[in-house]
Amino acid sequence: MAEKEHWSKQHEKGKLWMRKFTLACIRILPGIVVRILAIPIGFFFWLISGPERKAIIKYLKKVRPDRKPYTLPLFLAFSITIIEKVESWAGKIRLGKIHFQDDDINTIWKELEQGKGALLVCSHLGNMEMLRAIADFGDIGVSRRVPVISIVDFKVTAGFNKMIEDANSSSMHNIISAYDIGPDTMLMLQEHVAKGGIVVIAGDRNTEGKLDRNFDIDFLGSSAHFPQGPFIIASLLECPTYFVFAVRQKPLSVSAEYNMHIHKTRVKFSGSRAEKKQQIRQMAEEFVSYLEKYCNKYPLQWYNFYEYWEKGEL
């Protein structure tokens, strides 16, 4: 088998006109029609995505070893999620569809209400766009508008971001590419959080090339690479840090009912540099344990379409 490309080098499937077409459909057509259209589109991508299917089979064998690893439902669920991402950016998702849990949601609202900022570590399980609901809607959450900066893996999502821009140019949302991080970035993030803003970063995409900047952490039964970056950022920002998962109640359904799970980290940074390094790793392990828990609970909403575990692992 040919050498696997790093995920960031995998080409985004679909051309620009297709994205524009998708956006136009989402804007014009009723939600139910768009979701029905998502089925043949998802099927088409499933057909042409050989390497992604293989990677997903490996994931499904780990998360549900007792069942046949049928990949099609996951691709269809992804197709619907893409639509809902765009809808959320275009302001078309109603907050009533997001069900908060009895976890740390009240803590973060209280802290945001007090004017504090926060770091949210999210993942590619479910739909991370939904967590904007924490910040964006004054009526049930926070009485102030909370500015959000997302650190994204821009090289993969450039086309998608362009579409987002077209959909909603007035959003309080700033996007920084992980490939464009410099020494000034951290100072800017620090200032943003000090002013009560939120920083969002995914904790489940490993860093390209620099393997020494990954942690090997046991995930669904065997070791996988997780990035150090998000947790180092947490240690440098020294602000309240939460793990957030926004997942559909049912992966395949016409109605978009979401569950939002949010947990405040138990790790506190203090002490020497060596101790902090240890605490950074602890925080990554804590994140992975939640990720694993929700993968088990919502197995069909895992959208990391590349070889997640070490080569040769099954």
Partner 1 sequence: MDMDELKLEIKKIIISSLELEDVKPENIVDSEPLFGAGLGLDSIDALELGIALKKRFGISFSAESSDNRKHFASVDALAAYISAQKNGEAK
Nearer to partner 1, 37 or 232 (CB): 232
Binding positions for partner 1, rule: CB under 8 A: 178-179, 181-188, 190-192, 210, 213, 228-229, 232-233, 236, 273
Q: Which is nearer to partner 1, 50 or 183 (CB)?
A: 183
CA Rg value for the chain:
19
Using the minimum distance from each CB to partner 1, give the nearer residue, 110 or 210: 210
Compute the distance between CA of residue 292 and CA of residue 240 in angstroms, rounded to an integer.
Answer: 22
Least distance in angstroms from the C-beta of 246 to partner 1: 26
* Minimum CB–partner distance for residue 54 and partner 1 (Å): 30
Among residues 214 and 289, whose Cβ is nearest to partner 1?
214
Q: 273: which 2 tokens?
A: 């540099």
Give the nearest distance from C-beta 176 to partner 1 in angstroms.
Answer: 11
Strand pairing report for 214-219 and 222-227: antiparallel
Token pair 């620090």: residue: 190
CB–CB of 288/219 below 8 Å? yes
Q: How far is the CB of 31 from partner 1 (least distance, A)?
A: 37
Q: How far is the CB of 275 from partner 1 (least distance, A)?
A: 14
Residues 6+ positions from 77 with CB-CB distance below 8 Å: 42, 248, 251, 252, 300, 301
Distance (Å, whole) CA 37 – CA 198: 34
User: Residue 41: how many CB atoms within 10 A of its CB?
Assistant: 20
Q: Please identify, using beta-carbon distances, which residue of 146 and 233 lies nearer to partner 1.
A: 233
Do the beta carbons of residue 266 and residue 286 sit within 8 Å? Answer: yes
